[in-house]
């Protein structure tokens, strides 16, 4: 059984008081069960509070990005070493918002993946096509290209998240057929790159996941959970998503 993940990607949301209230509610109600991992990815200033407040719950805390260099003259950047030192379990890499607004490239992702492994962080590599690319019939070519960074990195623990760009924050999620086709393609690609180890890499779906559609998404082959933005900002919804993941096992 592949572990299922529900990872809350808070993006640039929540002030300390809101994050603290979330963690209080989460801590009061979350019951960890084998086979499901809860992840929370807050912005950097919130990390210490979220890490200390969720310590007893077993939830894993993730950075939303990090630089590949361990330290140095990179004003405004945060290193993998610093994330690890803060108590993070992993780091989201290659989110489409990073690719779109911050010029994230495949070359930088190769270095970031290697740095994450060097500092014992679990990377969540995000991939996904834009609507123009999907409409032009290039979805699988785009994903193949984005996955090809893994041929240059060597091996390490990994989670992949398929997030069609047109489904992120739009309320328009991919349908079951689209998700099934893409997840099967990703599984095959990971198997070609990593051999049998590629069969065990969790592949998450992300893009307008809510408690209303998650049960259906979880039933699709090769879907090992969700990377969730908007619906993860409220503890109640995040807890419901985790319960659905637990019940799907
Ligand atoms: P969304 O965001 O759930 O708000 O669509 C998902 C993501 O960007 O990870």
Domain extents in the chain: 4-247
Task: Output the pLDDT for position 2.
Answer: 72
Give the CATH superfamily of 4-247. Answer: Aldolase class I (3.20.20.70)
* Catalytic choice (14, 67, 89, 95): 95
Contact present, 186 and 153 (Cβ < 8 Å): no
pLDDT over threshold 90, residue 71: yes
- Is residue 209 lining ligand 1, measured as CB closer than 6 Å? yes
Q: Please indicate whether residue 208, judged by its CB atom, sits closer than 6 Å to ligand 1.
A: yes
- pLDDT average, residue stretch 56-68: 97
Catalytic (active site) residue 95: yes
Residues in contact with 109: Cβ distance below 8 Å, sequence separation at least 6, in sequence order: 93, 94, 125, 149
CA of 53 to the centre of ligand 1 (A): 24
Query: Is this structure's pTM higher than 0.85?
Result: yes
Inter-residue contact 156 to 194 (CB < 8 Å): no
Q: How many whole angstroms separate alpha carbon 45 and alpha carbon 49?
A: 8
* Rounded average pLDDT over 21-44: 96
The whole-angstrom separation of Cα 60 and Cα 47 is 11
Q: Which of 9, 95, 101, 225 to mutate to test the pocket of ligand 1 (most atoms within 8 A of CB)?
A: 9
User: Would you place residue 101 in the very low, low, confident or very high pLDDT band (cuts 50, 70, 90)?
Assistant: very high
pLDDT bucket at 1, cuts 50 / 70 / 90: low
Asked whether residue 248 carries a pLDDT value surpassing 70, the answer given is yes
**In the numeric block, which tokens belong to residue 220?**
């699709």
The mean per-residue pLDDT over the stretch 14-39 comes to 96
pLDDT tens sequence across 167-190? 999 999 999 999 999 999 999 999
Within 10 Å of residue 136's Cβ, how many Cβ atoms? 12
Q: Which residues does residue 162 pair with via DSSP β-bridges, in sequence order?
A: 127, 205
105-156 pLDDT, tens digit each: 999 999 999 999 999 999 999 999 999 999 999 999 999 999 999 999 989 9
Smallest CA separation from ligand 1 atom 1, residue: 229
Distance from residue 72's CA to the centre of ligand 1 (Å):
32
Q: Which of the four pLDDT bands, split at 50, 70 and 90, describes residue 33?
A: confident
CB 227 less than 6 A from any atom of ligand 1: yes
CA dist 157 and 231 (Å) reads 27
Give distance in angstroms: CA of 96 to centre of ligand 1: 10
Distance CA 73, CA 143 (A): 33
Q: Are 38 and 59 in contact (CB under 8 A)?
A: yes
**How high is the pLDDT of residue 45?**
98
Euclidean distance between CA atoms 203 and 181, whole angstroms: 13
d(CA 208, CA 197): 29
Q: Which atom of ligand 1 is nearest to the CA of 170?
A: 5
Cβ contact 93:125 at 8 Å: yes
Distance 46 CA to ligand 1 centre (A): 19
Give the residue whose CA is nearest to atom 3 of ligand 1: 229
Range 217-238 average pLDDT: 98
Task: Give yes or no for a contact between 69 and 79, defined as CB atoms under 8 angstroms apart.
Answer: yes
């Amino acid at each position: 059984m592949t572990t299922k993940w529900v990872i809350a990607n808070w993006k640039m949301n929540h002030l300390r008081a809101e994050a603290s209230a979330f963690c209080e509610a989460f801590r009061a109600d979350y019951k960890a069960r084998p086979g499901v991992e809860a992840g929370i990815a807050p912005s950097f200033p919130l990390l210490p509070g979220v890490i200390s407040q969720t310590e007893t719950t077993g939830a894993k805390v993730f950075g939303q990005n990090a630089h590949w260099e361990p330290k140095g003259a990179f004003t405004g950047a945060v290193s993998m070493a610093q994330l690890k030192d803060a108590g993070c379990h992993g780091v989201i890499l290659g989110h489409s918002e990073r690719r779109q607004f911050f010029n994230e490239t495949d070359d930088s992702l190769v270095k970031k993946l290697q740095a994450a492994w060097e500092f014992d962080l679990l990377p969540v590599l995000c991939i996904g096509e834009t609507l123009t690319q999907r409409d032009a019939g290039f979805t699988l070519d785009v994903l193949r290209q984005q996955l090809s960074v893994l041929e240059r990195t060597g091996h390490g623990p990994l989670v992949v998240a398929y997030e069609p760009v047109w489904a992120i924050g739009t309320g328009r999620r991919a349908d079951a057929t689209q998700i099934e086709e893409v997840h099967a393609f990703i599984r095959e690609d990971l198997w070609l790159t990593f051999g049998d180890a590629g069969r065990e890499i969790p592949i998450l779906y992300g893009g307008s996941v809510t408690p209303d559609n998650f049960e259906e998404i979880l039933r699709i082959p090769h879907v090992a959970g969700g990377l969730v933005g908007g619906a993860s900002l409220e503890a109640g919804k995040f807890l419901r998503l985790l319960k659905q993941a637990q019940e799907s096992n």
